[in-house]
Structure 1
Amino acid sequence: MRFATIRHGDTFTGARVEGDRVVLADADNAVDAFLRQDRLRDTGEVDAATAHYTCISPDPAHILCVGLNYRSHIEQLGRPAPPYPTFLAKFPSAPEPPGHRRGRESDPRTNRNQPVEGIGPDRPRPIS
């Protein structure tokens, strides 16, 4: 069974993806739907091809990335590309230096979470 977080109108909801349909459930997101899958109540249905998929979890504990587009950045710098994709990990539980803040900013238009970091009282800046 596959789970997803779907933007439905002005809200986000957890859902089950079943072939060409997405069954909306009474869950806040995909993680909530997975954890409560035996107690979910169906609340609607949308077409899987036109559903607006969004981030699986609004507050992930670990972020693991494979830098597939990193090669183009390396080539732009005129450096040799590595023989394998770059692996990136960002853990909120990692030790931070004193006065360092790390968090997440959410873009309300896309609900994409941008990792941010900052030092001092200024607003956090996106990590690039």
Structure 2
Amino acid sequence: MAAVNVPEVSAEDIEIMAASQPDAGFQSILVGLLFGTVVALLVVVTGGVAYINIKQWLDARQETEDRDKEKAAPAAASSAKSGGKGGAEEVDPNAVVPLKRANRIKKEKGKGFAAADQFTSRR
């Protein structure tokens, strides 16, 4: 194999080449600031999405617990009232129900205009 001759670079040539290059100091600072901003925004957005998901999971868990308590409470109350004979359930008009259930009740009643008392979550 033939040896490759690499030309020698003198100190003067290095100074000339360095002087002919544009100033990279400002560009590197700008790129660094933009990169830092992008990373910070990604962290904020990721944290926001995580917060929303955790909040939604906690709300669903709370609603499930409330639904289970609601199912257990009328059964215990009706058996206590009727002496354990399983009588008819009385509906309390002032009972607070979850908003999803209130919307489902409205949909079951039919479509169209409704009275003002049907717009509340109390049934």
Asked if Structure 1 and Structure 2 have the same fold, meaning a TM-score greater than 0.5 normalized by the shorter chain, the answer is: no
Hey, which of these two has a bigger chunk of helix by percent? Answer: 2
The structure with the larger Rg is 2
TM range (shorter): under 0.3
